[in-house]
Every structure is written in C-alpha cells, then in structure tokens.
Structure 1
C-alpha cells in the first residue's frame, strides 16, 4: 500500500485537519512511516489514520456500544430467545441516539449477531432460538453515532456450562488481552496476531483464518484486515491513530468453517465443536493503545 498519493509541501495545511502547517504537525511522523515503507513494510495510508476529532467521535459511539452490551448482560437469561436480545439492542441503541450498524448492512436482517455454541459468528437472532442451560453465546454489537462506528462483543455462559467450554471462553478472552498488550506503535499487526495465535495453540485450540479483525471508525469495516494466525514482522505497520478491532475466533476443534447456505451469513465450525469470540476496538497510541470498547 502506498503511503500517500500526493506530495504535501512543508507550509501546506496538515492533512489531519489540525489547521497547523504540515512541518509543525505530521511531517516528521510521515517521514518515519516512509522509512518503514522503503524497507518493505506495509504501511497505513492517511485515510486509515484517525484524527483526534475522529477518535473523539468514535469514543462517543463507543459509549452507546458499551451501554448496550451492559444492558444485554443485565437481561440475558436461560429461556429467552435471541430475538429478545435483538430487541434489547435495537431499543437501547436508538434510545441513546445511535443506530445499530448491522441492521440492513449488506442485507443483514437484524440489529445484532447472536452466535451460540458451534456458531463462529454472524448468528441471526430468531424468536424460535431459545437459550438453554449449558449454552455459550457471543453477542456482537456494532453502533453508529453521528457517522462514527464502534464494535465489540462479549461471551455469556448460560447456567451449568461444561468446564471445558468455560475454559475455551476464558482462554479466548485471554487471547484478546494478549492482543491488547501487544498493540505497540512501529511494530506490525503480524507481531500482535502471532502472540494471540500462540496463546490459543498453547491450550490446544485453533483460530479461524478466513475471518478476523478489521479497521473501524469512519466505516463499519475498513482496512486493514487483522489476522490472528499471522507471522511476526508481517502485515501492516501499526502507527498512532490507527483504529481496529481485536476479535480472534477460537475453536475447540478444527479451524475449518462453513457458511449457512440458506441465510448466507451464519458461520459454523466444520466439526460442530464450540467456538468463542470476544471483541474490543482499540486506537494505537504513542506508547500502546487505548481500548475504546470492551
């Protein structure tokens, strides 16, 4: 990826919208990125790097996103349908002035994804799908507020969950926390992703390859794609201002998956083994990252 397609002169206004001259704002920052590009690294374009104003807008969206998941956490229970979860998400989001990002996104029919047991992701809420004792469920909430996007998910264990399934849920959360710890500016997404992958492997699990994290903020899904089966030193360079999700999908069995042919959305494990996922959204900072959603 080419860093920038046009030359900015030293005394031009900075591309970030600060109103300052380029030489007084992002010129040295850009030069550092170009040094990495010349060494063969994949580097982010200006479009990927969020300005302070944009980051604040994403934070405001995230306030709703977190509140929605808190409401789900308060209300979720054995015997409720996933359609009821969808209503909680829609009602809470809209009452707070937001829009559920999944609703009608590329034809998705609901306001939230509810993925139970062997469903890896993109489960569609249904009034006939009832939460049972022993289920594990991922509730994936995405929010738009004033044009800014936020995205996060949590796992919920319903009643008497098999201890091995509970361990899968806990280790997957640890994978996310390891990902957060390894978001460091001027290192690569591959460095971070490899650490996440290794933690899953250490516990005998596999990680889905085809679906991963993504840039998020000005659009629902932006560049870069964030893999969690990556190799150190590969993938895009992380720099301050990048905003993306950390959301490894960890399977107890094989990493092979398939898509529901009927609805064209829901992804299942090929061997029907359980899968877990937690998702957070982060912004890269000068010394690590800010967790926008959790």
Structure 2
C-alpha cells in the first residue's frame, strides 16, 4: 500500500512547537493532579480547561467519537481509557495519561504513565524501562535510519527485561491530522522499513506490558487492556526529524534532555 507521508518544512515544524508546548504543559499539570481519591473524569475536565484557556482545542475530544480530552488508562489498561467519575485513583495504581492539543491547525500528542503514590518495585521498573524505550526510539528517529530502527530500539530494551511489546497499537505520523502515515511500530528489525527523511514528524509511543503482549478491547469499543491483566505502561512524545537530528516538539520552555538518556 502506498503511503501518504506529509513532510513538514522548517517553518511548519516551528509552527508545530506551540501545539507541542501546550500538550506537554497540560500533560504535566494533569499528571501533578493525579493523586489517590481523584477521578479520571476530574483530570479530564482539568485538561480541557487548561487547553481551552490557552486558545487550544482538545485534539482527542470527539476524535472518532471519543468523549474525553484525555485517555486515562489505569493499571492493566493499555490505552484509550474513557475518563469516568467512577474511576477513582488509589494508592499504588499507575495511570497512563495520553492527551493532545490542536493550535492553529497543528496537533501535539504526548503521553506519560504516572505512579499514584508509592508503587511496587516491579511496577516502578516497568515504568522506568518503558520510559527508556521511548528515549531510545526518539534517539533513533534520524534521517538515514529506517522505521525498523525505531522499533528495534524499543523492542530490544523491553524484551531484555522480559516484557511484552504491544503490537496491535503503534505510533504514527502527525501534523495537521492526529494520525498520519507512517505507522511507527514498537518492534522491528534494524535497517528495515521505509527510510526516515528530514521533515517527517512522528509520535513515538512505546506501550509495554509486564506480561504478555496480547491485548483485549473492552465492550465500549475503546478501552484496551492486557490479556493477562498484568500492568502496562505507555510513554509518548512527538518528534521532528531535522538536519540536526531528532527535535522533540512536545516540550515546555527550558526542557533539557535527561543526562542519562541519549535523546
């Protein structure tokens, strides 16, 4: 199948930074509010308020009929959890918050998995490893590499810990539309797939399970859970491929890459 990859000019990448900044800001603020006793619906309402207060539009709300401004996925829920007043966070939970904002027609998309209070050591390791997977995938998003290099970078780290790499859901191109070509799998062989070129903008989002990689879709048609009900983590950033290497767009001013990471 022929792909329709929409490469962005340097000016368009610059224009995408505001959607990225707002998306990153909202994700951080909602993550800070995620505490025991708070419902995921309260977090959703906070996200929408913050996005609209700065002139943005919640990119998720109404997308394909999705009712929320965030996806809120708890514990064994991988992605696409619908916010609910009945979903009350508890000490020891983990919460994947996925959110995005549209600004001047451009979309920023990002996600992070937050510990709610203190979590067990094995769950903490899952979060740490999945974040490492994301940074490795971002670092591989360089002109001359291939899609398989991104997936291989993620897969090799996750599977070295015995984790399952979700294959049913993947990252994607992004721009004026939330989902653009190409799909960006979190698994793959080095130097396989299409060649990455300057101007591509990708949302790289490892979804890593403590157990099996197999998934199950809930009755609402949205929520995706692990087949074995073991926890799952999800981290995501939007990145542009530039002449100077990967440029992360979903960041706030003053963002610095963690010293221990390569991207």
- Once the two structures are TM-superposed, the CA of residue 159 in structure 1 deviates from its matched residue by 1.3
Q: Secondary structure at the match of 1:115?
A: strand
CA contact (8 A) 1:251 1:275 kept: yes
Instruction: Specify the alignment match of 2:95 in structure 1.
Output: 137
Which of 244, 248, 255 matches 1:291?
248
Decide which of 226, 238, 243 is 1:269's aligned counterpart: 226
Listed one character per residue, the Cα deviations across residues 128-185 of structure 1 (whole Å, up to 9, x for unaligned) are 1100000000100111111100100111101121110110001000001111222221
Contact 1:185 1:287 in 2 (8 A): no
How far 1:88 sits from its partner (Å)?
A: 0.7
Consecutive unaligned residues of structure 1, counting only runs of 5 or more, are 3-43
- Which residue of the partner structure matches residue 200 of structure 1? 158
Larger relative CO (CA 8 A, sep 6+): 1 or 2? 2
Which moves more between the two structures, 125-134 or 279-288? 279-288
TM-score of the pair, normalised by structure 1: 0.83
Aligned to 2:39: 81
Match of 1:108 in 2: 66
Q: How far apart are the structure 1 equivalents of 2:12 and 2:242?
A: 14
Indicate the SS of the match to 2:249: strand
- Matching of residues 53-68 of structure 1 within 5 Å: 53-68=11-26
1:226 alignment partner, one of 181, 184, 190: 184
Q: Secondary structure of the equivalent of 2:64?
A: helix
Separation in 2, partners of 1:239, 1:153: 24
Preserved CA contact (<8 Å) 1:114 1:138:
yes
Q: Alignment length, in residue pairs?
A: 251
Q: Which residue of 1 aligns with 2:107?
A: 149
Q: Quote how far apart the aligned CAs of 1:74 are.
A: 2.8
Q: If the length of structure 2 is used for normalisation, what is the TM-score? A: 0.92
Q: Where do residues 1-294 of structure 1 align in structure 2 (5 Å cutoff)?
A: 47-261=5-219, 263-294=220-251
1:205-245 alpha-carbon deviations (Å, 9 max, x no partner): 01000111000111010000001111122222111110001
The higher radius of gyration belongs to 1
Q: Which moved more, 1:47-56 or 1:143-152?
A: 47-56
